[in-house]
A and B are shown apart, each in its own frame.
Chain A
Amino acid sequence: MSREVFVTALRNSLREIRNICHDVKFSFLFTWDGALVAEDAQAEGTMMENAVHLFKSVAEKAVTIGGLDTLMIDGDNGRVYISSADDMYLALVMSKDADVAYLRSVTRVIVPTILKLLESVVPTPLKFMPSQQLVVDNLSGFRSRLAGDTVEIDHEILKQWSELIDGKDVNEVEIEAFSGKKARCRVRAIEDSKLVGNGLIRIPEKPFQALEVKKGELVRVKPLAF
């Protein structure tokens, strides 16, 4: 079973949760290390990424209370409920009137059951790579023409991704601008030592224009080839 089928199955489960509980505005699943796994159609990428980033800092410190089981943020306009589901977390964004006890019981059954079912038909556990926010730098002129559609990022980041996939090379990435524009590009390490360690992604002219980004903007970068 491919990762795409796995994600589609989870996405459908999330949609069903929203169909059962109309007070759920949207939901998403992510791993402990912050990689988004699946989201329902109503969810917006940047919001989820930012929320997961904030959640991670709590989860890291929650080891002091034996790990994080659930987090409920109750505001006067709505609620967010995040609960652990196997080795993932499920986040539900819901209205103020949502019946949390009911939702809790529904999600505690549906999500782990689907995950277990999927795990039983997936030969090896699927790995979800955490995306990275990087600052755009553009490759121009001769270097841009030479690079084609190959972007450059820190060797250290490529190494970390590689370690997560048992030492295999990462040679392709998906770049997502905050506008939602996406591009798939080949990737290699930044060669210019002065630019290393600055959290940059150097993008040649063609994908730079396709993404409609500007120098200094943040983009989300996710490894694809593994």
Chain B
Amino acid sequence: MPTQTKSQKQIQNLHDSLEDIKTREGVVGYILRASKSAAVDIKDPSKIINYAALSAAVLESGEGISKIFNLGEIETIILEGADTKILSIIVGDNRLSIFMEKKVDHSTIYKDLNLT
């Protein structure tokens, strides 16, 4: 069996962390898109399409704005709405958005993703 690369390990860790994070109070779900696949787990299925479109827009715009203002590599993008917020990150080819209630501490969620 071939040895896992660092990046593959990171993605596996990410999947494991998400399984835990999604059960936490106030976490609404997540969308993880890779180049050829996507994992979607949103508590209210009627919101999946809207959330997917929003997630894609946040990440695309975030990357664009980062380039315009020379922010360097994106660490996190936090979008806050009236009652929900989104933590978006880019890990290699993977683009993750975690949806949560506004009261949830997104920095704890980010830490618990164990990306470093």
Contacts and interface: CB of A to CB of B under 8 A. Distances in A.
Contact of B82 (A47, A65, A80): A65
B50 A64 contact: yes
A106 interface: no
B86 interface: yes
A65 B102 CA distance: 10
Contact of B69 (A58, A64, A65, A93): A93
Interface in B58-81: 58, 60-62, 64-66, 68-81
Contact of A78 (B57, B72, B84): B72
Interface stretch (A66-74, A116-124, A145-153, A182-190): A66-74
A71 B70 CA distance: 17
Interface string A7-21: 000000000000000
Nearest to B110: A74
A79 B69 CA distance: 9
A75 B57 contact: no
B65 A55 contact: yes
Contact of A64 (B47, B62, B75, B85): B47
Given A54-B65, A66-B83, A66-B84, A79 B53 contact: no
26 contacts: A51-B64, A51-B69, A54-B68, A57-B57, A61-B50, A61-B57, A64-B47, A64-B50, A64-B54, A65-B54, A65-B99, A66-B81, A67-B82, A70-B78, A70-B80, A71-B58, A72-B77, A73-B71, A73-B77, A74-B77, A75-B71, A75-B75, A76-B75, A77-B71, A77-B72, A93-B69
Interface of B: 47, 50-51, 53-54, 57-58, 60-62, 64-66, 68-86, 99
